[in-house]
Structure 1
């Protein structure tokens, strides 16, 4: 489709009460602006991002995230102090010059609408009119611009701050997305004034100017959920809940069993393959892949691959782990580790290690990977039995078929077939209990 997309991302977002630019706040692991750009790229090869507040920070993020598609993305740093508002965002140098776009049709989106979808965008761009705007009806329209419709044409959009009591009672509101023919913008942007409560150049004023000249403006009813704008951290949480519903629904439609879905947190890049089961309270983030595996209750999986394995309950698989054909039990923590065919049932920390098939990790085992300056690796071969409460001081290598006795601190490499044990001799002192606790407890 021959349409240019303009994404408005210039606002300071003061209601977020944060030093982080509003559009860089995350929804399910991705910045809000990511979703707008991702969906825009599905319909256009000409994307224009309007920036002002913290523009370098946002531009750097986009360039790093969409590095393979930058030929389709253009940045415009606006003089917001001179031309504030959504209308001012569309100019190049002054009101006489709209930003240059490749196509005659221009779709206006917002960078703080993370729930937008390609399918909803297409509802607007199929209309072959000079102007089309997205609208929806809502029982509580507080905060939205009210849309005045007559004879199935939009006549006016009145912002909340400029609305009287009668106007505020209207339930039809502006979704904040517009489709313009370029010639309409070129004609009407110079006529937009900032005679309003905010002293801003409203894009919505352009609608009224065009309507007054008899130009037909098509209202397009859209799904409100897809066009929720985020202006506060409360609204951020509401949008994330809706995104989570999408992600969980998608996973279950792909065949994943999810217990108590509303308690499970997933991020956008999580992939499921094969027969997977996710119990309640599970948290999965990053570029995680779950393949034919069972993640038990209240476990955390971060940016790792889990294959043919059972994890948890209450296990923590930290970033950069690869786990295959393995059982990880409760209160086991892993980080940057590769386990293949391993059992680690409970209460262990396995960091920066590789453990091979058939090995068993007893309760309380620790791979001591950090010396205060540098992280070191622990390499463990096949069929190694590590007794409970043992510590392996990295860097260290344990070859296959090694038995490590419980309570051992391993400081040297072990070759195949070794029994490794380091304990002080146990002494039993007769009557020692009574001497320690003393009075009135002698036999």
Structure 2
């Protein structure tokens, strides 16, 4: 059925103990609210996001991330002083009317539920009632309100502080997700009262209004892993663990080999193609693409493309790198560089450079790309051999077929065929050791 979706994201999120808005805290590289919006867009063309605290920052984030779907997204600023609470988030005007939506059925989601999926929401789309409530069971429901179900209908929601021992023994709790017919909200939303200790309007009170008016409220049982709410950084870490398991499983189903997968971190933008192998402790960030490549243990790759290559162990590929048909060894760091058919075996920093096929980078080679004010590029051709412990001071152009001697500090361009070397002539001072450490013994020699 066509459905409009309202996402509640107006809360202060004080339990996060952070200046960052709760719904903008990230799991696997993406803000929690963005996950809700992404899944909502898969089933609806009419998304409404209710904001209050930090509303400008949240709005700007969503507009940036979902800029191709802004014609389907409407932002609302909750009148928090007049209509506080979850029920108040749906109200507008002096008569507590419901937010204007496109469709006759309305699904209510929360912006702090990053684990929902299109599939987990499908049960709400088939509900044939004026109101339905998402519920799930927890082995330890301590701290949650209990949902009372009789004859396959929700009869009451009781907060734990008000619950008797018998009610506390129940394990069914409110998932915080509802589906309403628009006409139900138009009728009963104006009847909500703020006559409670918090002086707020609650969505849960709509359940009482429905049952008192003999309207059935069917429970929709959902997977608690998909509807986990996040209110603290501890819960944030638990949600990320679930998302990581989901992302790893998806990658391995696609054919990626993962060794000790529970030690591998990857974000939602990471993609794999072809035969890929990922060793323990690897971290893959942002929009990284791994194609037919082997990433060895404890390497870090950020927003880069790796194709037909071996990376690591313990390599750091920083953003904007494009590496193909290359071997990048241990303790090599790259940034904003393009390497094709290159060997850089160990202990090098290669930033803002391009290196052609057949070139070899020795241990300890550094592209000196920053002069204190600006970054500069180093362009290196094909079949260039760079000796160990060389410094390439950018801006610099090195043609193909150039040999750079070990220990060279290079500040001038090199043409094809050059041997480049800049070293102080070595001198061996006889008995210099003794003269430095034991002058008396040196005098006897």
How high is the TM-score relative to the length of structure 1? Answer: 0.98
- Distance in 1, matches of 2:35 and 2:53, equals 19
For residue 74 of structure 1, give the secondary structure of its aligned residue in structure 2: strand
- Distance in 2, matches of 1:219 and 1:321, equals 50
The residue aligned with 2:327 is 327
For residue 331 of structure 1, give the secondary structure of its aligned residue in structure 2: strand
The residue aligned with 1:169 is 169
Report the RMSD for the aligned CA atoms in angstroms: 1.1
> What is the CA distance between 1:218 and its match in structure 2?
0.8
The residue aligned with 1:352 is 352
Which consecutive segments of 4 or more residues in structure 1 shift more than 4 A? Answer: 439-443
The residue aligned with 2:427 is 427
The residue aligned with 2:73 is 73
- Distance in 1, matches of 2:139 and 2:441, equals 77
The residue aligned with 2:10 is 10
- Distance in 1, matches of 2:152 and 2:326, equals 62
> What is the CA distance between 1:80 and its match in structure 2?
1.3
Q: Does structure 1 retain, via aligned residues, the 8 Å contact 2:146–2:157?
A: yes
> What is the CA distance between 1:165 and its match in structure 2?
4.0
Match status 1:227 vs 2:206 = no
Q: 1:138 to 1:240 in 2, by over 3 A?
A: same
Over residues 332-384 of structure 1, what are the superposed CA-to-partner deviations in whole Å (9 max), with x where a residue is unaligned?
00000000000000000000000000000000000000000000000000000
The residue aligned with 2:180 is 180
- Distance in 2, matches of 1:82 and 1:161, equals 26
Q: Does structure 2 retain, via aligned residues, the 8 Å contact 1:29–1:268?
A: yes
Q: Does structure 2 retain, via aligned residues, the 8 Å contact 1:363–1:389?
A: yes
The residue aligned with 1:370 is 370
- Distance in 2, matches of 1:167 and 1:193, equals 25
The residue aligned with 1:256 is 256
- Distance in 2, matches of 1:205 and 1:382, equals 72
The residue aligned with 1:198 is 198
- Distance in 2, matches of 1:134 and 1:94, equals 30
Q: Does structure 1 retain, via aligned residues, the 8 Å contact 2:79–2:92?
A: no
Q: Does structure 1 retain, via aligned residues, the 8 Å contact 2:316–2:333?
A: yes
Q: How does 1:20-419 map to 2 (within 5 A)?
A: 20-94=20-94, 96-419=96-419
- Distance in 2, matches of 1:41 and 1:68, equals 11
For residue 347 of structure 1, give the secondary structure of its aligned residue in structure 2: strand
Q: Does structure 2 retain, via aligned residues, the 8 Å contact 1:146–1:168?
A: yes
- Distance in 1, matches of 2:37 and 2:58, equals 12
For residue 157 of structure 2, give the secondary structure of its aligned residue in structure 1: strand
> What is the CA distance between 1:252 and its match in structure 2?
0.3
Over residues 316-343 of structure 1, what are the superposed CA-to-partner deviations in whole Å (9 max), with x where a residue is unaligned?
0000000000000000000000000000
- Distance in 1, matches of 2:109 and 2:328, equals 45
Moved more, 418-427 or 86-95: 86-95
Q: Does structure 2 retain, via aligned residues, the 8 Å contact 1:376–1:395?
A: yes
Over residues 272-294 of structure 1, what are the superposed CA-to-partner deviations in whole Å (9 max), with x where a residue is unaligned?
00000000000000000000000
Query: Structure 1: which 5+ runs fail to align?
Result: none
Q: Does structure 1 retain, via aligned residues, the 8 Å contact 2:146–2:160?
A: yes
For residue 85 of structure 2, give the secondary structure of its aligned residue in structure 1: coil
Q: Does structure 1 retain, via aligned residues, the 8 Å contact 2:84–2:200?
A: yes
How high is the TM-score relative to the length of structure 2? Answer: 0.98
For residue 357 of structure 1, give the secondary structure of its aligned residue in structure 2: coil
Query: Structure 2: which 5+ runs fail to align?
Result: none
- Distance in 2, matches of 1:110 and 1:160, equals 21
- Distance in 2, matches of 1:271 and 1:95, equals 50
Q: Does structure 2 retain, via aligned residues, the 8 Å contact 1:162–1:197?
A: no
- Distance in 2, matches of 1:388 and 1:26, equals 41
- Distance in 2, matches of 1:87 and 1:213, equals 19
Q: Does structure 2 retain, via aligned residues, the 8 Å contact 1:311–1:329?
A: yes
> What is the CA distance between 1:164 and its match in structure 2?
4.3
